[in-house]
Structure 1
């Protein structure tokens, strides 16, 4: 069974060796669009979900002018391998369908992510440091299996076995 890297490191007795050949999702803060880079592991995927509700930075998706976020906003956009969909401004969770999530493939999508901290390193417009930590990526395999991984302080959610 797959496990999240963050969960493996949190077990009593310290870190355990793990085979991290499963899917991974990496968040990259960028301007004007933040990016998520998905690497499909050894199991084909049809979608990935990103749930920001447990994030250290109390993050949201900022997709509309004048909404919940700060200054710059960007709707969800396919950057290769995904299907675009509408994301409500201020949403804390999204599901992104993959066009071809075969094992070993990659996909990228962009969207604006803002934090809601009262005191933030570079203001609420930029996600810095480990503010993504605690958010959850859920990888949906073509057979319907759901596997969750928690984002760590390096802004990566990795599935390990």
Structure 2
């Protein structure tokens, strides 16, 4: 009997500490760069707003969405490739912008949403040229997540092009 109660107590303690973390990954690609927003938890994430802010990035990154703008050579518009994502404040991302804001309806547990766009660095000398972005060039860019209009959580991209937002505990 004691063993069953102990196992039940242990399970309830573990399940009470399940977090709904979100991992955002940047992947440089040709001709489109990709952002993947993965829900790494065991519960669904619903109705969040997210801002990707490149302003503090090591490579002084910008979104390149126009042929005749601040970017280099190839440009790509914002395009949702998976999931329930929509631009929050505008119908498009302007060329040279350093921020984009999204509304995300839902991401199921252990699932992901993604979008593509072109990102260029604005360094005078860069590792792979201005049209290709490395993980260390997106380092220090930030992700802000607003949950239900109540709380803003922030994370920075690391040298591998990933940011992890620690969300509140999953609700039952």
Shorter-chain TM-score category? 0.7 to 0.9
Q: CA deviation at 1:24?
A: 1.2
| 3-state SS of 1:131 partner | helix
Q: Distance in 1 between matches of 2:76 and 2:111?
A: 25
Distance 1:114 1:130 in 2: 13
How many residues are matched?
Answer: 143
Higher Cα Rg, which structure: 2
Q: Are the structure 2 counterparts of residues 129 and 147 from structure 1 closer, same or farther at C-alpha, using a change threshold of 3 Å?
A: closer
Runs of 4+ in structure 1 off by over 6 angstroms are: none
Match of 1:87 in 2: 93
| Ranges in structure 2 where 5+ consecutive residues have no aligned partner | 1-17, 168-172
Query: Does the Cα contact within 8 Å between 1:44 and 1:141 map onto a contact in 2?
Result: no
Matches within 5 A, 1:4-153: 22-42=21-41, 44-45=45-46, 46-81=48-83, 82-84=85-87, 85-142=91-148, 144-153=150-159
2:134·2:161 contact (CA, 8 Å) conserved in 1? no
* TM-score normalised to structure 1 length: 0.80
Bigger fraction of residues in helix = 2
Given that 1:63 and 1:88 are in contact with CA atoms closer than 8 Å, whether structure 2 keeps it comes out as yes
Q: TM-score when scaled to structure 2?
A: 0.75
The answer to whether the 8 Å contact 2:153/2:166 transfers is: no
